[in-house]
């Protein structure tokens, strides 16, 4: 039997009494999906690479067109950065957008594509903010300044490790930061920007059909 004096005297070899647990896992930096082997991650990234290959009938648009569309996106994002500590939380920007336009701006960053041609991009952390700054050609795309040195900004942080996601202290810290979760889990996580493109369709009583592509930007904001 081990006793307290043995620990104090240093007679116990801790390496022989405590089993070493080694875990190796590989995760995608964009979607945080975890793989047990490097080969699994490699296959995942190969699939993602295919998502960023545009269909043959998608032509490139002019740089002027893309610049104007990016300016519209930044304007709409800033409209969702309100002045007020109680006005934070999840925000949504939606805008009519052709598939050509979406691919021209976000090609290379598309991380998911469904059989119904629904595209998704995920941006997280400091790198995600910098990437969107380059895409939108505006380093202040996610910040809006107010009087008295106040500013409202898009919240971006790296996803916490899996063992911390259910940690009571981590949850309490998030609540203290003003980020709350609803009882029904949202697929749009705090601390990341999710950008989707999909088609909205309508049909009237006489079967007249119409459709249009839309871009959706989901993000969380906070004021300091």
Which residues, 6+ apart, have CB-to-CB distance to 144 below 8 Å?
78, 81, 151, 152, 153
* pLDDT attached to residue 18: 45
Residue 4 falls inside a structural domain: no
Percent with pLDDT over 90 in the chain: 46
Mean pLDDT score of the chain = 80
Q: How confident is the model at residue 120 (pLDDT cuts 50, 70, 90)?
A: very high
Number of domains within the chain: 1
Indicate if the pLDDT at residue 134 is higher than 50: yes
* pLDDT attached to residue 135: 95
Across 96-123, average pLDDT: 91
Residue 77 falls inside a structural domain: yes
Which residues, 6+ apart, have CB-to-CB distance to 193 below 8 Å?
122, 123, 124, 128, 132, 154, 156, 217, 218, 219
Residue 125 falls inside a structural domain: yes
As a whole number of angstroms, the distance between CA 3 and CA 213 comes to: 71
Lowest-pLDDT choice from 48-57, 129-138, 143-152, 153-162:
153-162
Q: How confident is the model at residue 169 (pLDDT cuts 50, 70, 90)?
A: very low
As a whole number of angstroms, the distance between CA 168 and CA 172 comes to: 6
The residue ranking higher by pLDDT, 109 or 159, is 109
The residue ranking higher by pLDDT, 206 or 24, is 206
Backbone phi and psi for residue 120, each to the nearest 5 degrees, phi listed first: -145, 135
Range of 103's domain? 26-175+188-223
Q: How confident is the model at residue 23 (pLDDT cuts 50, 70, 90)?
A: low
Q: How confident is the model at residue 202 (pLDDT cuts 50, 70, 90)?
A: very high
Indicate if the pLDDT at residue 197 is higher than 80: yes
Residue 10 falls inside a structural domain: no
As a whole number of angstroms, the distance between CA 158 and CA 119 comes to: 22
Residue 209 falls inside a structural domain: yes
The residue ranking higher by pLDDT, 185 or 17, is 185
Residue 8 falls inside a structural domain: no
Residue 88 falls inside a structural domain: yes
Indicate if the pLDDT at residue 160 is higher than 70: no
* pLDDT attached to residue 43: 92
Which residues, 6+ apart, have CB-to-CB distance to 146 below 8 Å?
83, 152
Residue 116 falls inside a structural domain: yes
Are the C-beta atoms of residues 95 and 214 closer than 8 Å to each other?
yes
């Amino acid at each position: 039997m081990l006793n307290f004096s043995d620990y104090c005297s240093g007679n116990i070899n801790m390496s022989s009494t405590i089993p070493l647990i080694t875990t190796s896992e590989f995760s995608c930096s964009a979607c945080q999906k975890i793989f047990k082997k490097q080969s699994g991650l490699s296959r995942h990234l190969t699939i993602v690479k295919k998502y960023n290959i545009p269909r043959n009938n998608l032509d490139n648009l002019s740089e002027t067109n893309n610049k104007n569309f990016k300016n519209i996106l930044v304007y709409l994002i800033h409209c969702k950065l309100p002045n007020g500590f109680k006005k934070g939380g999840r925000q949504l920007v939606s805008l009519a957008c052709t598939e050509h336009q979406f691919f021209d701006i976000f090609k290379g960053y598309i991380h998911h594509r469904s059989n119904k041609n629904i595209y998704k991009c995920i941006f997280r952390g400091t790198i995600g903010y910098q990437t969107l700054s380059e895409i939108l050609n505006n380093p202040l795309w996610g910040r809006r300044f107010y009087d008295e040195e106040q500013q409202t900004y898009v919240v971006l942080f790296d996803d916490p490790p899996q063992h911390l996601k259910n940690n009571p202290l981590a949850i309490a810290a998030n609540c203290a930061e003003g980020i709350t979760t609803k009882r029904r889990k949202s697929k749009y996580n705090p601390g990341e920007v999710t950008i989707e493109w999909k088609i909205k369709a309508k049909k009237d009583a006489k079967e007249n059909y119409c459709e249009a592509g839309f871009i959706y930007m989901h993000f969380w904001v906070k004021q300091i």
